Amino acid sequence: MSKIVLLGLPGLYQNWLMSAVDPASRMQLHGDQNFFCSKSQVKWMIKPGLSDYPIASNDLVVLNLYVNKHNFPWYLYNLFEKTYDIKIMIDSFVTDIIEKGDKFSIFDDVKNDLLNYHSVNKDNVIHYFYKLFSEDRHYLHTATRKVDPAYINIEFDDFTNPDALKDKLQAVDIFDPTHFDSVYPVLISRNQRYLNKKKEFLQKLKAQEQSYDIIETAYIGALAGTIFKNNVNWQSEPFRNSIIKHKIKEISDLAQSLC
């Protein structure tokens, strides 16, 4: 029997997946949305900050979570709101990142980046995420996009497609589709906000709504920059509001084609 390693991304259903793969695992619900897997043959490693990646072989199966570029904004809801139940909520991000940022290393990095601004407010937070979506310089970009043809690569969207997910996991010798079918509905019932976030955002754009949270607003800015083929002054609320008012159809069309 091969050993199994999960290269995980914080907040992206790691404990649930450890249980879903192993029918002899022991999983319990944790908080409102999370899971805790106290027993599994799957061993977990956190990808962000990892210097040496395992080498897959006949004796080692590597499950690798990754996020395509245009799903990166939606993964951030998982990362901030779900990781270790710290609950840095997007709707209260400015307050939460200052008060809770030191509870996890990635959050602390974001907090320290934001403290380089004159003040930590909504406009600066939107600008920070706009730059994150527009550039490819952050270690999270590297970690979230890392794939290997020898790995079983599981992308963010696979969690909304049980057939695709089961098809990939069939390569694990202990995988039992009946066990998977018994635990998948629990994932869905506890994570509607995260599994449906991208779809809801695209619906809001199509309806040409004018109000968006900080992640959505930042991503709209990145899309606007793509349309204009230049950086945009996304730190300015009046400028943002004008672009959202007058260019939302073009932004919506681009988002639909990418996502």
Whether the Cβ atoms of residue 136 and residue 67 lie closer than 8 Å to each other? no
CA-nearest of 128, 158, 157 to 219 is: 128
| pLDDT above 70 as % of the chain | 100
Residue recorded with tokens 């395509």: 68
Q: Write out pLDDT tens, residues 158-169.
A: 999 999 999 999
Q: Say if strands 26-30 and 34-39 run parallel, antiparallel, or are unpaired.
A: antiparallel
pLDDT higher than 80, residue 199: yes
- In sequence order, the 6+-apart residues with CB closer than 8 A to the CB of 115 are none
Arithmetic mean of pLDDT over the chain = 95
Whether the Cβ atoms of residue 123 and residue 211 lie closer than 8 Å to each other? no
Q: Write out pLDDT tens, residues 97-150.
A: 999 999 999 999 999 999 999 899 999 999 999 999 999 889 999 999 999 999
Cα 13 from chain centroid?
10
CA-nearest of 186, 171, 174 to 36 is: 186
State the pLDDT at residue 136: 87
Whether the Cβ atoms of residue 20 and residue 184 lie closer than 8 Å to each other? yes
pTM value is 0.95
DSSP per-residue string spanning 103-154: GSHHHHHHHHHHTTSSS--HHHHHHHHHHHHH---SHHHHHHH---TTSEEE
CA-nearest of 7, 54, 13, 11 to 180 is: 13
pLDDT higher than 90, residue 1: no
pLDDT higher than 90, residue 246: yes
Cα 14 from chain centroid?
12
